[in-house]
Amino acid sequence: MSEDASNAVGDYKYGFHDPENATIRFDKGLTEQVVRDISELKNEPEWMTEIRVKAYHHFMDRPMPNWGNCSMLDSIDFDNVTYFLRSSEQTEKNWDDVPDDIKNTFDRLGIPEAEQKWLGGVTAQYESEAVYHSIREDLEEQGVIFLDMDSGLKEYPELVKKYFCTVVPYADNKFSALNTAVWSGGSFIYVPKGVHVEMPVQAYFRINAKNMGQFVRTLIIADEGSSIHYVEGCTAPTYSTDSLHSAVVELIAMDGAKIRYSTVQNWSANVYNLVTKRGIAHKNAVVEWVDGNIGSKLTMKYPAVILKGEGSHAEIISVAYAGEGQHQDAGAKVHHLASNTTSNILSKSISKNGGRSSYRGLLKVNPKAHGCRSKVVCDALMLDEDSRSDTYPTMEVSNSSADLEHEASVSKISGDQLFYLMSRGFSEEEAMGLIVNGFFEPFTRELPMEYAVELNKLLELEMEGAIG
Amino acid sequence: MEHIGETMSDLILDIRNLHVSVEGKEIIKGINLTINSGEIHAIMGRNGSGKSTLAHVLMGHPAYEITKGEISFLGKPIEDYDVFERARAGMFLSFQYPPSIPGVQVGNFLKKSVNNVRDENVKAREFRKELNSAMEKLEMDRSFLSRYVNDGFSGGEKKRLEMLQMMLLKPSLALLDETDSGLDIDALRLVAKGINETAENIGVLLITHYQRLLDLVKPDFVHAMIDGKFVKSGGAELALELESKGYDWLEA
Ligand SMILES: Nc1ncnc2c1ncn2[C@@H]1O[C@H](COP(=O)(O)OP(=O)(O)OP(=O)(O)O)[C@@H](O)[C@H]1O
Ligand SMILES: [Mg+2]
């Protein structure tokens, strides 16, 4: 680890970085030509190039959001971002063929091990593109498509064209426009009718280079009556200058299908994480976002579900941990378009050492949607006086038959709890770690075991040195 | 720092002329108490007389300030030891009002507590065996293990969980603060049995308002507490006397 990196790293365990051995690296800064070059390099169909260029212009014209953390947003230097970086000539199917330095990185992150133990498939993205990709044979035989997005476009252009930008239009917001203009990598998944993918499939995103911009694009289509659980993890080295991760995720759950999308984002504290995630649920379909935000400098992310079909359901469980210098601006959006649709939103946040967490929620019920139910619970835990937590819930309910519940709480760790645990032999730090893990438990228990264990360890680590 | 508990003798707890204040107000006003191994001491006294305060101070609660006097535990002054160090040295407090710890499962919490406190490395299998047997004795349903610590527990369930912890942690000094209150008659009997078994070769300080517990757990000494002082100490018969006469006659 270089000196400046290790200074900034603190106890962030993924803060190491590897030498940058790029095979193709674009100059910093964004122009229409850069956008066209990316598309050409990837040999994309014309329509994709066009949509990229349109999105680019929208991005340039669109002002920065005037809400959230404006001063942090304004400090993003778009001219100092590398928009495309290729570090391996191809996506390997065999772990041994992945270039050594990249392989070492993912080895340290435990990727191949996880694949053997509990995954149905895995994709590992390094900078702009996938470097490794595999799927279990039995899934492939059942017609499940699990590819990195670039390969998806190459191999299934019609399917991609049919759904791309239908859930998140490029003009949705400034960052969805940016992503659409320069997207690279991400996952493309199609699950055929009635197929249940029992083991989760995982994507791991790693930024290694300085000032890197990673623009992941993911599209998941679960056909009628099918189900899939997608898990993603993210880390980056700690640099003194900032990196940008701006992803767009689109989920389509057809009639009776179920998609669960779980994220544990543990970016280093110099990454801007500006992500648009949205799913459409058709008749009796279920879309679930399980979203954990532990790292990054600024996260702005509000996983959304459009309940388009009757009887569909949205579940959004999110946690945010904001430590020193971090702002987690997270939340959830649900749009009840159809009758008898239901949604559950649980948001938990912890702020420590001056960190800031915000819950921003939007709940909409259309005039014609009868008999909808929604429950929103927001709990904030403040570990000290310097930290901050805000809640901005918005409800636009145009149908009086809707049954809505909203609960919000802000709490501190009580002296009684600490005393009790310490009287059972836990040191003060251990006691804090236990309480904090307990606070996140409704989220953690939804994760695959390996992620849950890792997350608990991470939080315990964060509690070290918590006592002044 | 030398560990407490390294010199073993019969002397478990020795309190000399203890004065304790909280937020500048004196609560404990000069208490002397010696507890030897195998002894059960009961404290009875008016509400607000300082019984829980004494238990908390012994356990090391940071809100209470010792203004005078000393406490030694297993032959060592304990003033400089933190709460968790006292626990690891063998002190146990059963809380009058155990707080809930949402999201932390009882089973996991017990396992970790045992690992924290007990000297020997308790293997998973051994732990399970002890846990099963203690839960059976307390007639606790196994479903408690996956519930969150004290979260949504009834008053009596909380007290049973405190007893379960005592039985698993095997302390050398057990401070039981109104462990009997909130228990139904059957539960009281089970808890009393648990105390008697555990008490055989440790020191027990039992805070209670009622003779009904002392019928089942026979105290060697009873102390009547009024306004931060032991105004009278005696044998088991003192408890009966307090039960029938109240505390007024003890006031000067
Ligand atoms: N942290 C505190 N801050 C302020 N006052 C306190 C604190 N702890 C105890 N006190 C006061 O000290 C006195 C003794 O309280 P304590 O809880 O020790 O009484 P007790 O004998 O256990 O009573 P009970 O029988 O009702 O349980 C009370 O007047 C109480 O209000
Ligand atoms: Mg009391």
Dihedral angle sign, alpha carbons of residues A114, A116, A122, A123: positive
Cβ–Cβ below 8 Å for B101 and A435: yes
- Nearest one of A150, A85, A99, A121 to A232, comparing CA atoms: A121
Which residues of chain B make contact with A415, given a CB cutoff of 8 A?
62-63
Side chain identity at residue B30, one-letter code? G
Angstrom distance (rounded) from CA A185 to CA A248? 11
Tens-digit pLDDT profile for residues B197-215: 988 889 999 999 999 999 9
CB nearest B87 (choices: A424, A437, A440): A424
Distance B169 CA to ligand 2 centre (A): 23
For residue A435, what are the domain limits? Answer: 415-468
- Residue B166 CA to ligand 2 center (angstroms) comes to 19
Q: What is the DSSP string of A240-272?
A: SS-EEE--EEEEEE-TT-EEEEEEEE---TTEE
Of the given ranges (A241-255, B37-51, B233-247), which has the lowest mean pLDDT?
Answer: B233-247
B165 shares contact with chain A (CB less than 8 Å) = yes
Same domain, yes or no: A44 and A169: yes
Last residue of a domain, one of A274, A301, A328: A301
Which residue bears the tokens 């003060």? A428
Average pLDDT over residues B149-156: 95
- Cβ–Cβ < 8 Å for A279, A310: no
Residues with Cβ within 8 Å of residue A311, at least 6 apart in sequence: A283, A284, A338, A340, A341
pLDDT at B57 over 60: yes
CA A178 to chain centre: 16
Spacing, Cα B198 to ligand 1 middle (Å): 28
What is the average pLDDT value for chain B, to the nearest integer? 93
A434 shares contact with chain B (CB less than 8 Å): yes
Main-chain dihedrals φ then ψ at residue A226, nearest 5 degrees = -100, 175
C-alpha closest to that of A389 among A440, A332, A321, A437: A321
What are the angstrom distances between the C-alpha of A352 and each of A320, A419, B129? 11, 20, 40
Select the residue of A415, A420, A426 nearest B95 (Cβ to Cβ).
Answer: A420
Give the pTM: 0.89
- Please, are residues A206 and A106 in contact by the beta-carbon 8 Å criterion? yes
Start-end of H helices in chain B: 51-59, 83-89, 106-117, 124-137, 155-169, 185-199, 211-216, 236-245
Please report whether residue A436 resides in a domain: yes
Among A301, A332, A365, identify where a domain stops. A301
* A439 reaches B (C-beta below 8 A): yes
The residue type found at B234 is G
Q: Give residue for tokens 């006292």.
A: B86
> Whose CA is closest to atom 6 on ligand 1?
B22
Q: Note whether A425 contacts B84, CB cutoff 8 Å.
A: yes
> Is A386 within a domain?
no
Per the domain annotation, does A335 fall within a domain?
Answer: no
Nearest-Cα distance to chain B for A433, in Å, is: 11
Specify whether A295 is located in the same domain as A436. no
The pLDDT assigned to A2 comes to: 39
Q: Does residue A359 sit within a domain?
A: no
Domains of chain A: total: 2
The upper half-sphere exposure of residue A159, i.e. CA atoms within 13 Å in the direction of its Cβ, equals 21
pLDDT at B35: 97
- pLDDT one digit per residue (tens) for chain A, 468 residues: 333 433 434 467 777 777 777 788 888 999 999 999 999 999 999 999 999 999 999 999 999 999 989 999 999 999 999 999 988 888 888 888 888 888 888 888 777 777 777 888 888 888 888 888 888 888 999 999 999 999 999 999 999 999 999 999 999 999 999 999 999 999 999 999 999 999 999 998 888 888 899 999 999 999 999 999 999 988 888 878 889 999 999 999 999 999 999 999 999 989 999 999 999 999 999 999 999 999 999 999 999 999 999 999 999 999 999 999 999 999 999 999 999 999 999 999 999 999 999 999 999 999 999 999 999 999 999 999 899 999 999 999 999 999 999 999 999 999 999 999 999 999 999 999 999 999 999 999 999 888 888 888 888 888 876 554
Whether ipTM > 0.90 holds is yes
Could A426 and B113 be called an inter-chain contact, meaning their C-beta atoms sit closer than 8 Å?
Answer: yes
Cα B226 to middle of ligand 2, angstroms:
13
CA distance B118 to B89: 9
Fold of B11-246: Rossmann fold (3.40.50)
pLDDT at A18: 76
Pocket of ligand 1 (CB under 6 A): B 22-23, 27, 45, 47-53, 63, 96
Distance CA(B13)–CA(B221), nearest Å, equals: 14
Residue A381 lies in a domain: no
Q: Whose CA is nearest to atom 28 of ligand 1?
A: B48
**Rounded-to-integer distance, Cα A87 and Cα B161, Å:** 57
Domain end position, chosen among A240, A275, A301: A301
- Chain mean position to CA A364: 23
Q: Which of B21, B47, B53, B64 to mutate to test the pocket of ligand 1 (most atoms within 8 A of CB)?
A: B53
A428 in contact with chain B, both atoms CB, cutoff 8 A: yes
Asked if the structure places residue A293 within a domain, the reply is yes
pLDDT value of position B1 = 40
Q: Which candidate, B211, B213, B214, places its Cα nearest to that of B245?
A: B211
pLDDT exceeds cutoff 70 at B8: no
- Start-to-end C-alpha separation, chain A: 29
How many helices and strands in chain B, by DSSP H and E?
8, 12
Closest ligand to Cα B51: 1
pLDDT of residue A297: 95
Q: Cβ distance B65 to B215 under 8 Å?
A: no
